[in-house]
Structure formats: C-alpha cells, structure tokens
Structure 1
Amino acid sequence: MKVLLLLLAFVSAYNALPAFDELSQEGEGKTWVVLCASANTWMNYGIQSDVYHSYQLVRSHGIPDDNIIVMHYDDIATDKQNPTPGVVINEPNGTNVYEGVPKHYTGKDVTPQNFLGVLKGDDKLAKLGKKVVNSGPNDRIFVYLMDHGAEGVVMFMDTFLHAEDLNNALKEMHTNKRYSQLVFYLEACESGSMFDKLLPTDINVYAVTATKPKELGWFYYCDTKLSTCLGTYFAAMWFDDWRANDPNVEKFQQEYEFFDKHQNFTMYNQSYSQHAQQYGDLSLSKLTLAQFLGGKKSPEMTRTSNINRENIQFVSKREVAVYMLQKKIEETQDITTKLGYVKELEALLNGRLYMDNVLYEYVNSIQHLMPNIATNAILHTKQELNNRHCYRRLADSFIEHCFTLNENPYVLSKLHIFVNICEQMRDSSDADIAVNRLIQYCHQNIDRNIATNIQ
C-alpha cells in the first residue's frame, strides 16, 4: 500500500512538471521577425513586394504570426496602376505575395521612431495597442529593413533614419537584455554606411547590408509595361538561396558567400556589380537560417536559383523614373504619346538640374568657410563621413526647408555634398553658419512650383 501511495505521489509530481520540450523552448527563447518596407508609391513597388515575399517565406518556414511584425505603407495593392487590384507579385508570373500580410503599421505610422520603438519593445506603442517585440534575454530577433538610402541614412518617406540612432537602439537593446542574438539584413543604396565603423562586435548583432558604404543598389525584374520593378537584386539573391537550401543546414555565412558569388551581373553586354557586406559579430554567421527564420520545409524550397536569367532587367535604384521614361520613348509608336513621354523626361531632368543649381549656389555662398577646397570638389567628390552631428543638421535642414524628401528622392544622390561640407568645418560655429545659411538660402530662393517631383 505504501509503495502504491509513493508511486501515485511520484506520478502526480511528475505530471505537475513542465514537459521537456517546454523547458527547452523556455531556455532557448522565442524567435521574433521584424519586416519593414519604409517606401511608398508605385515606383517603389519592388521594395514593398520584397517585404511581402519575405513574410510569406518566414510564415511557410514555421514562424508564428504572433512573433512577426510587418511595417509597410500598403498602397501598391490598390494603386490605380495595378492591373490586378489586390495582387502583388515579386517576380514575373509570380504568386500573390500580398495575401494575408498583416497590417501592424501602415501609412504614416511607418516612421523611424516607430521602427526603433518596435525593436525596443516601446511601452507607449504597446499601450496604444500597437504590436512590438516583447522579447527577453533568451530570444532571437531577425530584422529586415529596406528602402532607399544614402550616406548614413535610410529614407522613411519624408524623413531619415540616421545610422547613429539605429546603432544606439541596438546597443540599448543589448544593455536591456532584449535579445540573445540579433541578425539584421538592411537593403538600401549605400547601406553599408549604416553599420560601417558604428556597429560594435561585442553586442551579439550580426548585420548584412546589400551594398558597400558608397555603392548603389539595383532593382530587379523591371517591367516597362508596368512602369516599375517587381523586386530588388539583393532580395532576389536572398530568396533564391533561402528557397534552394534546407534552412536547418544553410548557415548565414554560406548565404553571404552566395551573395558574394553573385555580386557581378551583365546587362546589355556591360558588367555591373553590387557587393553585400558583413558587420558586427561575425561569429553569428555560423548559425543556421532556421534559428532565425524558421526550419519548417516549404514547397518553395524545391525551386532552383533563377538569378542568372539573361532576360531580367536591372535598374539602379535611383534611376527607375528616368529608365522607365526612356524605355517608353523607345518603344512607343504613337507620336503624340511619345512626345508626352519626352516632355515628362525633360521635366524630370530639368528638375534635377534645378536642384543641382540650388546646391551650386549654396556651396558658393559658404565657400569662405572652406578655403582649402574648391566648389567643384565639394559637389563631385565623396569624402568619408566623420562629423556626423554637422551632417545630420544639414541633411535634415535640406529636406525640411528646401526639398521635401518623399516628393524629391533625387535628394539622396546629393547628400554627399553635405558630408564634404562638414568634413571641412573647422569648428561648431562654422557648422552653425553653414546650417543657418542653408535654411536662409532655401527660404529666399527656392521656387516651390519647381521644387517637387524631382526623382
């Protein structure tokens, strides 16, 4: 009888304990995925469609919706130029990657402040009913951010996410034990500048960027009939590697080597390139994709790589508008329609020339602050960014007082001028003069009828 009672007590105590799987999962923590496309408009179709595709892949590989946060403007599925309303594809003849995509943050809620707040688990956002990464010291986090970019910035429609803010947020998360390991994929022109010499190697963050610090990125699957590009080159490489390999076996280092292997491509018998970069704690690259993106096998894993298909059109991310108009002019037979496209292209190029002239006159007006360098060198060279405080003030003032960023994305190709100016400033008072002069010059000289839609 005593033996029976002891046996019953043992069974009762055993059943009260959590299962072994539960203990393992608790010790290993959760996996969180944050996906953000901070661009809008039909011209940037490929940016949002890449994020939609990445959502479908992480879901199919077993990451639960509760652990995924998606930020996207959400305008291309219903855009009047969309021939199939409600459908978004990421490659020619592709499936609808928009179906089922959550709308955690859309429209004007897609901001740098909210993006960083999501990562840090911001209490104010959570109290407003917004979804944030509610992570702890045992959790892993994967982040995919994409948009247009320039030296030390990623574009968020009318504003910038600055490199120092992003890296400070990651360091804060590490200090507050918000993760055990974090992997960050960042896709934008000059995206390497967001981590280069900024991301520490000792905070358990591994970052991969689509380009070098001073290199442009490329759109992929560009379609003149749709007047946009369906995706981007970096994402196409990423998805092809992801789908072709078992995520339980494929390591991030192997994926990076895949990027490196496909850094060169040919179009119209000319060679081009885009070089992915690694930053932070490179030891994390030895981890498998499954540890951050899910290990469940999906039907897409049977697909083979299609990166080297010869009929694919690449376009520099900053030249889509020009490229599309040039192709329409070439392909259109109707003279009246062709002339309409010619006028559109002339207006676009004249707008660029107008911004160029504004910057030329401005630089001339502060030349006395930079006696050791010519105006032409300020306008056309690219120096290394060190004076970040000065640069931030000039860049932010330019999009606030001179050319609205979302309406005039050509701004991104001119930010190197402010880097060059700041690297010549002898002290903070010179920087103050340069910033105040920029604001004054723009208020006095810019024609608002011209300073719009400069792409």
Structure 2
Amino acid sequence: MGYENYRHQADVCHAYQILKAGGLEDENIIVFMYDDIANNTANPRPGVIINKPDGSDVYAGVPKDYTGENCTAENFYAVILANKTGLTGGSGKVLNTTPDDHIFIYYTDHGGPGIIAMPVGDLIYADDLIKVLTAKHAAGTYNRLVFYVEACESGSMFEGLLPKDINVYGLTASNATEPSWGYYCPDQGNTTSPPPEYDTCLGDLFSIAWMEDSDVRDATKETLQQQFKTVHRRTLNSSATGPDVEFSSHVTQYGGVNITTDFMNTYIGLNPLTVNRTSVDNGGYTPSYAVSQYDANLLHFMQKYKSATDSKVRTKTYQKLMGEVDSRNKVDNAMSFIGRELFGKEKGSHVLNTIRTPGRPLVDDWDCLRTFVKTYENYCGSLTSYGRIYMRAMANMCNAGIKADQMAIASAKACDVKS
C-alpha cells in the first residue's frame, strides 16, 4: 500500500487482464489488492494503472474482492481453504474447488527471509503458508496447484518446506537469499523508463517477465517449464547495462516440478490473439533499469524530490526521504547492537549474516522467530519493508539457541528503552 508501491498493484491488475483475456470468468478469479493507487492524488493518470512505459490501462474491470483493510493474511488463508466463516469483509469469494480443478495463485508484494507481507495486519510466515497448502491438499479439493511468488527472498517461503508430493509447484522471483527487483523504474536515461510524470517503478522484474511472456505466447504450446526457462533467463539479464548479477535474481522452482510439463493454458486460459504465436524469448525486449525492492522507496522519494517545483512539496518530500534514511539507519544500528550484545563484538556480525546450506529451511523453530520479531517491535518499533531484511538475523538467533529473555534485554538496550 502507498503510491510508492505502485508496481505491486500494477502487477496484480496485469495478471487479472491475462486471465480475462484467457477466457476465465470473474467468478473464477479472486483479487487481493489495497486499491489505493488508481485514484491516488499522486497518480498522474487518475483512474488508470499501467504496468509498462507504453502500456495500456490494466486497472479497468478489475474485481474488488478483497481491498483496503480486508487485505489480510487471515482472509488469504480462508480464501485458499474455502473457509467462508473465516473471512472478514470482502466479496466472500473463495477457492470452492473440486478434485478435478487446477489452481493458479500469484502473489506480489514485499517480503523477506521466511515471510511475505500483506497490505494489512500480520505477516505470512513460510510455515503457516505450507500448513495451508498441505491442508488444501488433504481436503482433496484440487488436482494441481501452481504458485508464483514475487517478493524478496521469496525462495525462503518454500526452501526445505514445500513437500514434493502434494501436487504444488512453486516458482519464486528469487532464491532464498537474494532480493527481487522493481522494474521499469524512472529517470534512468533508457528507452524503457516510465513517462516523465511517473516517479515510481511501474512493475517488478519477475512479474513483468512472466506476464509479458504470457501476453505473446500461445499458452497451448508453452509448458510451465518453458516459461520458467524464459523468465529465469530474462530475470538474470534485464539490467539496462546488460547482464549483471548485481541487478538480477535467480528465479527458482520448488515442490512438484513434475507439474512443469503442463501447458500454461491449464492455469491461465488461452488468449485467442496469441494462437500459434511464439515468444521472442530472451533478447526481443529492451532492458530497463531494475532496483532492489528494498531500495524502491528511496528511489521514489529521490525522484519526487528532484522533480518537485513547489518549495513546500520539495520540503515535505525531503523530510520523507530523510525519514526513510533515518528509519533504515535505526534498524541497521539496532540489529548490529543486538548481534554484539548476544554474540560478542567479533562473532555478532558473522552469526547474524550466516546463510544455511541450500535445502534447509530458514529456521528450525518458527514460533521462536515470531516471538523475536514481536519482541524487537515491542522495543524498537515495527519492522518496515526494509527492516524485514533482518528476518534472517533473528532466525539465526533462534537457531543459535538465544532465549526470549535474552532477546528482550538486548532489544531494550539497543533501542534505549527504560524499564
């Protein structure tokens, strides 16, 4: 939520248009989005959302199933499990599917190690998501389920957790240890920058890659595996300056990879305009500038500050920019202090930044991680989208055997909270 997150809702709306063009009815499409972008006073084209610089409006006709305060983890779980009594607000639509149905879920928003965020309320922790998917399988209410995830460290939602025998295939924008990327970002001097009136990224790299492929490829002739290869290649090579691992991520597959022989039309339908068409596949697009999801807010405020002509707007934007910088410095310093307090000056940084071997989940005790996050927030304030980069650090504290009272004392000292 917030205009600086324009790209996420643009992605959601574009995905809806793909499904509609593929012949799906609204009754079979469920949309979650905060819906504060199209008519935001900062939007240079009121009532319109675009997902690429020369793109058409993707907002028109999008259902408002779960918007605003109804965009919660609890509603997300309830929709997947077809638990209408678990819903709070919204349209009431749920995945009331049968054993013969194929399900496609696409998520895009902020994340971090072991979590993805909803616009409102609690985070979605990886272990909870896996429990929901496992329960959906146990209910016998689908044939196969495909889950695309656009978020930083999105691989950590499935790494070491997603069973291979529940007919769920996960595709993530990044592996378990790297950020995902905003795309079509402003004022970078290349032909695929947004129109000059936009001061925010229009989309996300992984999302743009799979959706622009789906826009042009005959879905009856492209398998999930073929799309993976196309998207993986583009996501690694979409820097405006050419292939550059510094501005890329590794799209990663999880779970039932046997599903990848399925054709895309099984999940997204078939757009008649794409029949017998093939994708340009790696190289037929013009690279744009990508920015880490963790830094997209900074870019937005910097662009807004640079383009402001009114002195009051310029001053207010500068204050927001400095507030973002100060917030980052605060969490950086606090977590560094906590690491030193718990593990000593020499070992603190090493322990907090340790990355587990591939194939292992982020943390052994997920309840411990939840407790440490709440403890930190109790003393130091809510973790922002940037601050969630430290979820791995707190997971490592749990894995190292740190106790809740130790974490509380260290957090209180770090943020100078008097008892």
Decide which structure has greater strand share. 1
Q: Does the 8 Å contact 1:210/1:274 carry over to 2?
A: yes
Asked whether 1:351 is paired with 2:322, we answer no
In structure 2, the CA distance between the partners of 1:138 and 1:334, relative to structure 1 (3 Å rule), is closer
Asked whether 1:59 is paired with 2:20, we answer yes
d(CA) in 1 for partners of 2:408, 2:329: 24
d(CA) in 2 for partners of 1:336, 1:117: 45
Q: Does the 8 Å contact 1:253/1:286 carry over to 2?
A: yes
Asked whether 1:266 is paired with 2:244, we answer no
In structure 2, the CA distance between the partners of 1:73 and 1:234, relative to structure 1 (3 Å rule), is same
- Indicate the residue corresponding to 1:417 in structure 2: 393
In structure 2, the CA distance between the partners of 1:208 and 1:72, relative to structure 1 (3 Å rule), is same
- The amino acid of 2:261's aligned partner reads K
Q: Once the 2 structures are TM-superposed, how far is the Cα of residue 432 of structure 1 from its aligned partner?
A: 2.5
- Indicate the residue corresponding to 2:270 in structure 1: 295
- Indicate the residue corresponding to 2:380 in structure 1: 402
Q: Which has more radius of gyration?
A: 1
- The amino acid of 1:267's aligned partner reads A
Compare 132-141 and 258-267 and name the one that shifted more: 258-267
In structure 2, the CA distance between the partners of 1:232 and 1:83, relative to structure 1 (3 Å rule), is same
What TM-score comes out, normalization by structure 1 length? 0.79
Q: Does the 8 Å contact 1:240/1:306 carry over to 2?
A: no
Aligned-pair identity in percent equals 31
d(CA) in 2 for partners of 1:243, 1:301: 13
d(CA) in 1 for partners of 2:275, 2:332: 46
Q: Does the 8 Å contact 1:62/1:296 carry over to 2?
A: yes
Aligned match for 2:34, one of 68, 73, 92: 73
d(CA) in 2 for partners of 1:349, 1:252: 41
Q: Does the 8 Å contact 1:206/1:281 carry over to 2?
A: yes
- Indicate the residue corresponding to 2:194 in structure 1: none
Asked whether 1:285 is paired with 2:260, we answer yes
- The amino acid of 2:186's aligned partner reads D
d(CA) in 2 for partners of 1:165, 1:184: 15
Q: Does the 8 Å contact 1:77/1:85 carry over to 2?
A: yes
Q: Once the 2 structures are TM-superposed, how far is the Cα of residue 402 of structure 1 from its aligned partner?
A: 3.0
Compare 226-235 and 338-347 and name the one that shifted more: 338-347
Q: Does the 8 Å contact 2:102/2:143 carry over to 1?
A: yes
Q: Once the 2 structures are TM-superposed, how far is the Cα of residue 296 of structure 1 from its aligned partner?
A: 4.0
Structure 1 unaligned runs (5+)? 1-39, 447-455
In structure 2, the CA distance between the partners of 1:378 and 1:145, relative to structure 1 (3 Å rule), is same
Q: Once the 2 structures are TM-superposed, how far is the Cα of residue 349 of structure 1 from its aligned partner?
A: 2.1
Q: Does the 8 Å contact 1:81/1:226 carry over to 2?
A: no
d(CA) in 1 for partners of 2:152, 2:371: 21
Compare 388-397 and 298-307 and name the one that shifted more: 298-307
Q: Where do 1:184-199 residues align within 5 Å?
A: 184-199=147-162
In structure 2, the CA distance between the partners of 1:433 and 1:230, relative to structure 1 (3 Å rule), is same
- The amino acid of 1:295's aligned partner reads L
d(CA) in 1 for partners of 2:218, 2:107: 24
Structure 2 unaligned runs (5+)? 188-196
Q: Once the 2 structures are TM-superposed, how far is the Cα of residue 154 of structure 1 from its aligned partner?
A: 0.2
Aligned match for 1:392, one of 370, 382, 388: 370
Q: Once the 2 structures are TM-superposed, how far is the Cα of residue 343 of structure 1 from its aligned partner?
A: 5.6
State the secondary structure of the residue aligned to 1:319.
helix
- Indicate the residue corresponding to 1:114 in structure 2: 75
Q: Once the 2 structures are TM-superposed, how far is the Cα of residue 236 of structure 1 from its aligned partner?
A: 1.1
Q: Does the 8 Å contact 1:383/1:420 carry over to 2?
A: no
- Indicate the residue corresponding to 2:103 in structure 1: 141
- Indicate the residue corresponding to 1:246 in structure 2: 218
Asked whether 1:82 is paired with 2:59, we answer no
Q: Does the 8 Å contact 1:240/1:307 carry over to 2?
A: no
Compare 202-211 and 293-302 and name the one that shifted more: 293-302
In structure 2, the CA distance between the partners of 1:362 and 1:126, relative to structure 1 (3 Å rule), is closer
d(CA) in 2 for partners of 1:134, 1:402: 42
Q: Once the 2 structures are TM-superposed, how far is the Cα of residue 139 of structure 1 from its aligned partner?
A: 1.2
Aligned match for 2:409, one of 437, 442, 445: 437
Q: Once the 2 structures are TM-superposed, how far is the Cα of residue 391 of structure 1 from its aligned partner?
A: 1.7
In structure 2, the CA distance between the partners of 1:86 and 1:303, relative to structure 1 (3 Å rule), is farther
Asked whether 1:171 is paired with 2:134, we answer yes
- RMSD of aligned Cα (Å): 3.0
d(CA) in 2 for partners of 1:334, 1:72: 32
Q: Does the 8 Å contact 1:402/1:443 carry over to 2?
A: yes
d(CA) in 1 for partners of 2:313, 2:36: 27
Q: Once the 2 structures are TM-superposed, how far is the Cα of residue 386 of structure 1 from its aligned partner?
A: 2.9
d(CA) in 2 for partners of 1:241, 1:217: 18
What TM-score comes out, normalization by structure 2 length? 0.85
In structure 2, the CA distance between the partners of 1:42 and 1:343, relative to structure 1 (3 Å rule), is closer
- The amino acid of 1:85's aligned partner reads P
State the secondary structure of the residue aligned to 2:238.
strand
Compare 50-59 and 381-390 and name the one that shifted more: 381-390
- Indicate the residue corresponding to 1:322 in structure 2: 298
- The amino acid of 2:224's aligned partner reads F
Aligned residues: 398
Q: Does the 8 Å contact 2:181/2:248 carry over to 1?
A: no
d(CA) in 2 for partners of 1:265, 1:348: 27
In structure 2, the CA distance between the partners of 1:344 and 1:372, relative to structure 1 (3 Å rule), is closer
Asked whether 1:236 is paired with 2:208, we answer yes
Q: Does the 8 Å contact 1:383/1:423 carry over to 2?
A: no
In structure 2, the CA distance between the partners of 1:159 and 1:438, relative to structure 1 (3 Å rule), is farther
Q: Once the 2 structures are TM-superposed, how far is the Cα of residue 398 of structure 1 from its aligned partner?
A: 3.0
d(CA) in 2 for partners of 1:311, 1:178: 41
d(CA) in 2 for partners of 1:382, 1:210: 19
Asked whether 1:313 is paired with 2:276, we answer no
- The amino acid of 2:67's aligned partner reads T
In structure 2, the CA distance between the partners of 1:77 and 1:294, relative to structure 1 (3 Å rule), is same
In structure 2, the CA distance between the partners of 1:441 and 1:138, relative to structure 1 (3 Å rule), is farther
Aligned match for 2:4, one of 40, 43, 47: 43
